[in-house]
Structure formats: structure tokens, C-alpha cells
Amino acid sequence: MNGKKIIELRGITKSFDGEVVLDNISLDIYEDEFLTLLGPSGCGKTTTLRIIGGFETPDSGEVFFDGKKINDTPPYKRNINTVFQKYALFPHLNVYENIAFGLRLQKTKLPEDEISRRVKEMLEMVNLRGFERRRVTTLSGGQQQRVAIARALINNPKVLLLDEPLGALDLKLRKDMQNELKGMQKRTGITFIYVTHDQEEALSMSDTVVVMNEGSIMQIGTPTDIYNEPSNAYVADFIGESNIIDGVMLADRSVRFAGHTFECVDGGFGKNEQVDVVVRPEDVDVVAVDKGMLTGKVTSVTFKGVHWEIIVDIDNFKWMIQTTDYVAPDAEIGVYIEPDAIHIMKKSEYSDMFGDYSSFSDELDELSDVDAEGEE
């Protein structure tokens, strides 16, 4: 992303009780950017957020804010505010006083009319005009979240940290608040750093997505790049659904997998190099058997509202296909794949771990494994 760097993380490492939570990560964050730290529980995304906010100190590495090292700067001296998942509102204060709280703590005392003007601006921004005297304990979850955001923005921080703030909201309200948050970020020009495990949330809101796993950064890119050009099998599997198949690059724009040679759009690999091939379920066309590049047997069909999700066994590999046309279970079908639907990745430590839809999670496989060790 072009623009001025506002936060720089350089070689950040952090451990808790001997367990490495962040492993030498580096990251640049820019002004007026909506950046999302995305990953499963335990990947290090919240620890990264807390180090930026000053609530944790890295074991090694450096944190820069506007070009100045801030490793030892306490949270209250950083021009950064935080919206926590549980909002942390003051139950004994009404909406107006919750939002005004940060202004009243400033060293230079503001006139009451200035405080009132700025609180009203915030109430207007978060669509809570008229709620000034309401007790926060009487508000809905969505309303409480808006109060928390208004309180965090009223001091005009350069950076706002948001730690899964939509997690407690129902689905439709969460989608509405996603749009509102993105709109607020654009109107204020404040850099938002957002933490979530929800892939759809990250893709729909962000300028930049940082995919994390086990304390490391897997990939940094725009939502489009992350989805269409995943860097490895982990990212391809975590962001949406993916069929990930072993393949061999025969030459530039020619790859062989599943017993067939396909034209693709990728190049730059070695001749006969082993690769991972990614094909998204929505990019596979169901055709008649005699017109298919590959053929297989439908093992399950699930109605998803806007499409049918079918699992197809092709040479003992379970493919997922999303189609608007109904296909009956046990039917023999052909599949057709366009060259630009095929994405080639280099082999990685995550190869052969994802992409077959015999089941949707490793946990389900473990439940059926008689040799798997149970947790105490």
C-alpha cells in the first residue's frame, strides 16, 4: 500500500510460559489503512494487537510509531485507542459521559461547550443521536459497541485497535456494523487495525489482510490477492474453500494433475517441479461425462440457498464443487476447468494437509481415530 508508514514492527518475538506466540514477525502499517489481522485462535493476532497498543512488551524486536521507537512507551502515552470485544463501558455513567470520558482526562481542560460539541459529533457519526442520557446497561449489544467506538474516536487517535468487536453480535447486525465500521474509517482517515478469525469479515472490510498461523505471518495482501493468489496451502484452505491437489508443472502454463494435463496461466516454475494446485469450488463447471476434462461420482449434495454444494469423488480424491444446477447423489458427472481458474503454488510445509473434502475439519477425522490421544 502506498502512503506513509505509521506503525512498523521489526523482528517481534513474544513467548508466554516458554511457548512462542510470535516468532520474529515484521509488518508495516500505513496511514488511512484498514488492516486486518486474520487467523485462528492462538495464531498470535491478539498478542500482536496488544504489543502495538502497549499492553504487552515484545521479548525481542522493535515497535515504531511515526518513525519513533515506542517499545517502552506506556499505552496512555501512545496516540492509539482500543475497542475491546467486551467494550469495557462504565456502567455508572450514561452514554454522554462514557463518550466524553477521554476528553475529561486531558491535561488541558476543555470547555464544556467544546466537550458537548465533540460528543454530539461522535453520536451523529455512530447513529446514536438522542441517546445521550441513556444508561449504557439499557442498550443493546450493537448500541453498546457504537458507544465504545465513539469513546475511542473522540480523542482523534492516529490508530484505532479493534479486538474482535463484532463477535458478540448476531449475523445480520454484524454485517451492518461491518459496513458502518468501514464507513467510519474512511470518513475519519484514522488507521484501523482489526483482529478477527472470520474470513468473510476480513475480506469484506479490509484494505490489507495479514493471514497469521502459529505466531508467523503467512501472507500479506489485498483481499483479492489473498483469495485469488494464496501463497501456500494453509492460506488457500483458511480463506474460503479450496480444492488443493498435487500437481507437476510440465512447462510454463502447463500443469498435470488428477491424471490430466491442463492449460493454466502461471509460469516461472522448474520443469517437472512438484507443485500444489488450487481450484476454487465456484470455478469448476459441471458438464456431461463425455465433455469433462475429469469425471467422478457425486457422493453428497447440500443445498446452500444460492447454490448446491456437491462433493465429487475423482480418483479417490474428494472435490468440492459449488453449482447453481442440481446434481443427484451417486450421479456420474464431468468437470471442466478454465485455465484462469487454476492457481499454482510451490510446495510448502502445509502441502498434503488440506484440500480433500473427505471431511471438513481435522477434528472430525481425529474423533474417528482409535489411536488418537484424548485430552485430559
Whether residues 212 and 113 share a domain: the answer is yes
Whether residues 113 and 36 share a domain: the answer is yes
The answer, yes or no, to whether residue 376 has pLDDT greater than 50, is no
Going by C-beta distance under 8 Å and a sequence separation of 6 or more, which residues neighbour residue 194?
A: 34, 35, 36, 37, 162, 181, 202, 205, 206
CA 366 to chain centre: 26
Reported confidence tier of residue 142, pLDDT bands at 50, 70, 90 = confident
Question: pLDDT, tens digit, for every residue of 235-254?
Answer: 999 998 999 999 999 999 99
CATH assignment of the domain containing 341: 2.40.50.140
CB 235 within 8 A of CB 44: no
The answer, yes or no, to whether residue 368 has pLDDT greater than 70, is no
Question: pLDDT, tens digit, for every residue of 352-362?
Answer: 888 788 655 55
- Residue 235 forms part of a structural domain: no
Question: pLDDT, tens digit, for every residue of 316-366?
Answer: 999 999 999 999 999 999 999 999 999 999 999 999 888 788 655 555 555
The answer, yes or no, to whether residue 99 has pLDDT greater than 90, is yes
Residue 327 backbone dihedrals phi, psi, to 5 degrees: -125, 130
Whether residues 25 and 168 share a domain: the answer is yes
Cα(128)–Cα(99) distance, integer angstroms:
11
Domain stops at, among 169, 198, 228: 228
Q: How many domains does the chain have?
A: 2
Domain stops at, among 175, 194, 228: 228
Buried b / exposed e over 254-265, threshold 16 CB at 10 Å, is ebbbbeeebebe
Q: Which domain holds residue 335?
A: 242-367
This prediction's pTM: 0.86
- Residue 55 forms part of a structural domain: yes
Cα(265)–Cα(249) distance, integer angstroms:
11
Residue 370: the pLDDT is 62
Q: What is the DSSP letter of 73?
A: -
Whether residues 212 and 291 share a domain: the answer is no
Strand (E) or helix (H) holding 179: helix 171-188
Alpha-helical regions (H) of 189-328: 199-205, 223-228, 233-238
Return the SS3 of 254. Answer: strand
Reported confidence tier of residue 125, pLDDT bands at 50, 70, 90 = confident
Whether residues 122 and 184 share a domain: the answer is yes
Residue 168: the pLDDT is 66
Reported confidence tier of residue 373, pLDDT bands at 50, 70, 90 = low
